[in-house]
Amino acid sequence: MSWTAQVDPERCMGSGMCAALAPDLFRLEGAHAEPVRARMAADERALDAADSCPALAIVVRDGPRTVGPRP
């Protein structure tokens, strides 16, 4: 299973929560976060990062289905 993660640069406030929770999945690049790779293996930490983002700027998808942030 392969997931993709996107960080909306308009919403991202650069808090660093995602990079702190999963530094191998997300990094701070300048004032905003971004995924380290376009695709990633299914990883609960990606969902934790999306759930913890104070600006709700991270979306994790499994194909066309959105899996994070969780409701």
pLDDT at 10: 96
- According to CATH, the topology of domain 2-68 is Alpha-Beta Plaits (3.30.70)
Query: Taking the domains of the chain in order of start, what are their residue ranges?
Result: 2-68
Are the C-beta atoms of residues 18 and 57 closer than 8 Å to each other?
A: no
Would you write out the chain's pLDDT as a tens digit for each of its 71 residues? 799 999 999 999 999 999 999 999 999 999 999 999 999 999 999 999 999 999 999 999 999 999 999 99
C-alpha distance from residue 57 to each of 12, 45, 50, 68 (Å): 5, 15, 7, 11
pLDDT at 1: 75
pLDDT at 18: 98
pLDDT at 27: 98
